[in-house]
Amino acid sequence: MILKHKQVRDLEKLSAAVREFGVAVRKLAAVSPRTDRMPVDHPELQQLAREFLGAAEIVKKAVAAKILTADQYSRVARHLEVIAEAMERGATREAAAEKRATAVAGTRTAVRKPRRRRG
């Protein structure tokens, strides 16, 4: 990949966006969980980290070689595809948990009938 001047700026914007995503994910990790929801297991998080690191390694090698080859570009794309697939699995898992929580909340809600006044 040999970049034109405008593309260098675009790549810098991409880098800033990735950093911002990382900061947001770090903040999410520090958030205290809500008490009205049960935690959901997300085994895909380890895979996400591995795939991001794999993509980063490819880019580091491209920097050292001063060129990102078509093959490297394709391999980075595959890492990103795997990331998207893993995130979709996590979203499906989270949606199922939300559905269960809604169903459980619906069964726990007691509806009281108004009392009749005597008199």
What is the sign of the dihedral through the CA atoms of 58, 15, 32 and 90?
Answer: negative
How high is the pLDDT of residue 105?
A: 67
Q: What is the C-alpha to C-alpha distance for residues 3 and 10, in angstroms, rounded to an integer?
A: 10
- Domain map of the chain by residue range? 43-104
Question: Per-residue DSSP letters for 78-115?
Answer: HHHHHHHHHHHHHHHHHHHHHHHHHHHHHHHPPPPPPP
How high is the pLDDT of residue 114?
A: 62
Q: What is the C-alpha to C-alpha distance for residues 80 and 21, in angstroms, rounded to an integer?
A: 14
* pTM score, whole prediction: 0.77
Q: What is the C-alpha to C-alpha distance for residues 14 and 76, in angstroms, rounded to an integer?
A: 14
How high is the pLDDT of residue 77?
A: 97
Q: What is the C-alpha to C-alpha distance for residues 12 and 6, in angstroms, rounded to an integer?
A: 10
The tens place of each residue's pLDDT in the chain, 119 residues long, gives 666 777 888 999 999 999 999 999 999 999 988 887 778 888 999 999 999 999 999 999 999 999 999 999 999 999 999 999 999 999 999 999 888 878 776 665 555 556 666 66
How high is the pLDDT of residue 33?
A: 80
Phi, psi angle pair for 34, to nearest 5°: -70, 145
